[in-house]
């Protein structure tokens, strides 16, 4: 009995429990691609809709590859896919890319603002200068404690002087996030939103619930950092689309990217 020739491409899907992986294998070269967007990717952000559109386009593209593999000869298949796939994916891909840029720009504007100390004033300059002097005179262990306990103006002095660079990377990250939380709390006037709870022994609230205020500010910073990670995840999705198209169209990644970003004549 004559053995049936192996198809040029094999496509598949795998349910990870967090979303569907769409896979592609060129059986002649063993080149592979996998496309995945987790089910809850970018929920409640401007990225969610364009990501869903791109997912539908690539899933449809994989179905087109599977159908065409059964219909065309290898040479005709390549010509067909080079016409069909970019046309299917180009629009959703570029909409997604544009939205990533907008999302990143908005997040970066906020990040840069909050990671930058406000200009010093005659009132704040002595506080900042003294904080830097104290910091510079201490051993590493005490520097780490200062960087995680100083107030806003003291931290502003350290950040402006680049003093956090002396800390281990993980500690410097914690210290910078704390500074950003303090900047956010001051910018948003959170002190007024979190008064100490009035009780029988404290019938008139005249102080700030610092723990509650900082918890709110810290949660904001965590969301801001998560937004940055989301951008990196979105960019990787774009790379995966480029790789998928390169495998399907038997071309380089640069050529696949050009197919996706250049309108045909």
Q: Which residues pair with 34 in a beta bridge?
A: 23
Q: Give domain status of residue 91, yes or no.
A: yes
Q: Give domain status of residue 1, yes or no.
A: no
9-15: strand order across its sheet: 9-15, 20-26, 32-36
| CA–CA gap between residue 130 and residue 135 (Å, rounded) | 8
Pick the closest to residue 237 from 54, 86, 44 (CA basis). 54
Given the structure tokens 């610092």, which residue do they identify? 210
> Does pTM surpass 0.75?
yes
Specify the 3-state DSSP secondary structure of 143: helix
Summarised one tens digit per residue, pLDDT across range 53-75 is 999 999 999 999 999 999 999 88
- pLDDT score, position 3: 47
**In sequence order, which ranges of 70-138 are alpha helices (DSSP H)?**
74-115, 125-137
Q: Per-residue pLDDT averaged across 82-97, rounded?
A: 97
Are 52 and 104 members of one domain?
yes
For the chain, how many structural domains are there in total? 2
Are 31 and 99 members of one domain?
yes
Q: Per-residue pLDDT averaged across 158-177, rounded?
A: 95
Residue 264: C-alpha distances to residues 36, 69, 84, 115 (Å): 27, 24, 12, 44
Are 81 and 97 members of one domain?
yes
pLDDT at position 245 over 90: yes
Q: Give domain status of residue 90, yes or no.
A: yes
Q: What is the extent of the structural domain holding 195?
A: 125-228
| CA–CA gap between residue 84 and residue 91 (Å, rounded) | 13
pLDDT at position 154 over 70: yes
For every residue of 12-49, DSSP letters joined together read EEEE-SSSEEEEEEETTT--EEEEE--TTTTTTSTTHH
Residues 6+ apart with CB under 8 A from 171: 144, 147, 148
Are 210 and 248 members of one domain?
no
Are 249 and 220 members of one domain?
no
pLDDT tier for residue 6 given thresholds of 50, 70 and 90: low
- pLDDT score, position 1: 42
Are 19 and 77 members of one domain?
yes
Are 13 and 38 members of one domain?
yes
Q: Give domain status of residue 120, yes or no.
A: no
Which residue would you say has higher pLDDT here, 8 or 3? 8
Are 101 and 180 members of one domain?
no
Are 109 and 236 members of one domain?
yes
| CA–CA gap between residue 183 and residue 163 (Å, rounded) | 17
Are 35 and 108 members of one domain?
yes
Are 222 and 236 members of one domain?
no
Summarised one tens digit per residue, pLDDT across range 174-204 is 999 999 999 999 999 999 999 988 888 888 8
pLDDT at position 265 over 80: no
């Amino acid at each position: 009995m004559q053995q049936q020739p192996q198809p040029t491409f094999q496509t598949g899907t795998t349910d990870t429990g967090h979303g569907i992986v769409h896979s592609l294998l060129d059986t002649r070269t063993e080149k592979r691609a996998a496309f995945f967007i987790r089910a809850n990717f970018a929920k409640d952000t401007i990225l969610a809709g364009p990501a869903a559109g791109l997912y539908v386009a690539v899933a449809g593209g994989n179905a087109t590859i599977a159908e065409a593999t059964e219909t065309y000869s290898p040479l005709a298949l390549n010509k067909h896919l080079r016409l069909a796939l970019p046309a299917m994916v180009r629009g959703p891909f570029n909409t997604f890319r544009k939205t990533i840029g907008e999302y990143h720009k908005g997040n970066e504007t906020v990040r840069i603002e909050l990671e930058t100390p406000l200009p010093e004033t005659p009132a704040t300059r002595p506080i900042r200068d003294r904080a830097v002097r104290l910091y510079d005179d201490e051993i590493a262990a005490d520097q780490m404690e200062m960087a995680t306990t100083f107030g806003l103006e003291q931290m502003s002095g350290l950040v402006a002087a680049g003093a956090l660079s002396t800390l281990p990377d993980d500690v410097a990250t914690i210290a910078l996030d704390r500074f950003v939380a303090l900047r956010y709390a001051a910018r948003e006037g959170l002190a007024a939103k979190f008064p100490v709870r009035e009780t029988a022994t404290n019938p008139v609230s005249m102080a700030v619930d610092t723990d509650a205020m900082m918890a709110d500010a810290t949660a904001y910073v965590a969301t801001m950092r998560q937004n940055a990670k989301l951008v990196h995840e979105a960019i990787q999705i774009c790379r995966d689309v480029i790789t998928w198209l390169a495998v399907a169209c038997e071309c380089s990644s640069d050529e696949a990217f050009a197919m996706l970003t250049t309108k045909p004549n």
